[in-house]
Amino acid sequence: MLKALKLDFLAKYQDFGLLALRVGLGAAFIVHGWPKLVGGPEVWTKYGGHFAKAIGMGSWPESLGFMASIMGLLSGVTEVGGGLLLILGLMMRPAAFLLFVTMIVAMLFHISIGDGFGGYSHAMESAIIFFGLIFVGPGKHSLDGR
């Protein structure tokens, strides 16, 4: 009875569980990152400014304003591209690492503007999941697994 409650019989579906996790997270990050990716320089500069604030700069100096735009664009590329790579299970560990770093920056930004746990918890939880996926890998139902 105790063995049935532990659901040990599901262990043989571990790779399916990884597939479900990759597809669900990947799709969510594509949807989340798409507006950043296609938003143009104004949106990129906004998110790049979040990066500067997260690392303690406050804001980009006027002479480095283009860097804010580049950093914002990179966040969109990372979320959309990383989400797609997660779904495919292609280069998943590097993609998970880049998404992990992106979520750490997002978490630090929310902390820096005084958001409580509710404000930074999504980024923190996502960072924890991506950190774990770096070690677990994509499973056999992936392009990396073939």
pLDDT tens-digit series, residues 104-119: 999 999 998 899 999 9
Q: Which residues make Cβ contacts (< 8 Å) with residue 130, sequence separation at least 6?
A: 96, 97, 99, 100, 103
Q: How many CB atoms lie within 10 A of CB 36?
A: 20
The domain locations on the chain are: 20-136
Quote the pLDDT of residue 1.
64
Please state, rounded to an integer, the average pLDDT across all residues of the chain: 91
**Interval 23-62: pLDDT, tens:** 999 999 999 999 999 999 889 988 888 888 887 776 666 6
pLDDT reported for residue 69: 86
